[in-house]
Amino acid sequence: MSDEHSTPVETKERSTADEPSTAKIIASVQAIAVETGIRSSDTVDVLAREAEDLRRKLEVERRKLNDVSIEQAAESLEPLTQLNIKQRRILKGHAGKVLCMDWSLDKRHIVSSSQDGKVIVWDGFTTNKEHALTMPTTWVMACAYSPSAQMIACGGLDNKCSVVPLSFEDDILQKKRSVATHTSYMSCCTFLRSDNLLLTGSGDSTCAIWDVESGQMIQNFHGHIGDIFAIDVPKSDTGNIFISGGADKHALVWDIRTGQCVQSFEGHEADINTVRFHPNNDAFATGSDDASCRLFDLRADRQVCVYEKESVLFPVNGVDFSLSGRILFAGYGDYRVGVWDSLKCVRHSVLYGHENRISCLRTSPDGTAICTASWDCTIRISLVGTRNHWLTLLKILAISNTSPQLPDSLYDLKPRIRFLDMGMKTTTAGFLIII
């Protein structure tokens, strides 16, 4: 596909931290010196130089262990086959830029938040709006579904994160309650393993864990020196870490139990807009205003791959992996989605459809679809598969048409039959695309 760009889009205005690593170290040491009563500038300079020297030695040791690149390790792997990614649904209803979206674990419902102050819960299959909430502020920058799909969380320029139980019986806004409060805007939120814990990130450079029931802060996380734009938690229920990224160009790994930063990753040259764990939870991807995505390995404690092209100049605002982790999807400010082979570090293809910058991208919990939110006020759902998958599906449909049982998924065989105009109503086959 062509790598030519479409017309320029609006430039995002965000605070950035332009200091080099040495300057950051010096600033941190100076702050510690002040707190501990050290006033001598000579002592501070000595400590800063020692810290920088240790950082360089650590980097040398890391390079010694980096004896093979991910591209070399993947040389024997077959290249990706032709992918069949088709846009199937367009969700329209927001009157402003859509800033965030999240899938429900039921694989059918989606929540989205927008510049117009609206939070909408969608049925992704029928495209119907099941709930439409008007928040007390515009620029609702964050939204998330709870693991039980019984409530949503959202927040933005009001510096708060509110939790809303979902019900068709009552006016759900009457049950809305404020759970988290920061000293600056709420940029991101997600539930932590259960409906009882909420993790938030803010423009005040902190993350925090909150008790949903009481609204009390359980743990606070300090370490970033710029606005936090993105957080993510492992897909495993037993993980005790999460990652965050922001305007200081660093991705930090936090221990939930201690509140301490346990790993710090650098490499980006501009704001980190999005972070996402790899399905194996041992690595994560980031997207940045420097027009690149990067893959960091927690075990190797270093960057292992960069996904970028000279022809791509626009920021990456959303990233997510396929179910196996082989494919990395990246949403860009030039209205397009880049499809990357995460192991061979090459771009496989480009997806089109949006008419303004993509602000958020997520794959469905079962890996059968990707959903993108955009400043063009729409949310678009595309089915993911390969040519061989679709041929297998057609063969299954040709021999299975007697049982009323259908797979329990948003993108199960029944809607796929409609999409393909096969004219069949039932099938015995369960079908799951894993790429």
Lowest model confidence (mean pLDDT) among 84-88, 175-179, 316-320, 418-422: 418-422
Long-range contact pairs involving 18-26 (C-beta distance under 8 Å, separation at least 24): 21/52, 21/55, 21/266, 22/48, 22/52, 24/225, 24/248, 25/51, 25/52, 25/55
Distance CA 350, CA 336 (A): 7
What per-residue confidence (pLDDT) applies to 68?
Answer: 78
Distance CA 39, CA 332 (A): 47
pTM: 0.79
User: Mean pLDDT, to the nearest integer, of 41-67?
Assistant: 80
What per-residue confidence (pLDDT) applies to 346?
Answer: 93
Band of pLDDT at residue 418, cut at 50, 70 and 90: very low
Residue 6 reports pLDDT greater than 60: no
User: Mean pLDDT, to the nearest integer, of 18-22?
Assistant: 48
Residue 282: CA count within 13 A, CB half-sphere? 5
Nearest to 310 by CA among 9, 69, 3: 3
Residue 393 reports pLDDT greater than 60: no
Distance CA 224, CA 226 (A): 6
Residue 387 reports pLDDT greater than 90: no
What per-residue confidence (pLDDT) applies to 308?
Answer: 95
Indicate the domain borders of the chain: 21-65, 86-383, 386-435
Distance CA 67, CA 315 (A): 31
Residue 407 reports pLDDT greater than 80: no
What per-residue confidence (pLDDT) applies to 172?
Answer: 80
Nearest to 80 by CA among 266, 398, 405, 325: 325
The per-residue pLDDT for range 354-383, each reduced to its tens digit, is 999 999 999 999 999 999 999 999 999 999
Distance CA 86, CA 414 (A): 16
Residue 173 reports pLDDT greater than 90: no
Band of pLDDT at residue 41, cut at 50, 70 and 90: low
The percent of residues above 90 in pLDDT, for the chain, comes to: 63
User: Mean pLDDT, to the nearest integer, of 16-23?
Assistant: 47
Distance CA 217, CA 255 (A): 16
The per-residue pLDDT for range 290-310, each reduced to its tens digit, is 999 999 999 988 899 999 999
Distance CA 191, CA 198 (A): 4
Which amino acid, residue 87?
A: Q
DSSP letters for 112-176:
EEETTSEEEEEETTT--EEEEEE-SSS---EEEE-TTSSEEEEE-TTSEEEEEE--SSS-GGGG-
Residue 63: φ, ψ to 5°: -65, -35
Tokens of 385: 């598969």
Lowest model confidence (mean pLDDT) among 150-164, 320-334, 407-421: 407-421
Domain 86-383 has CATH 1.10.260.40: no
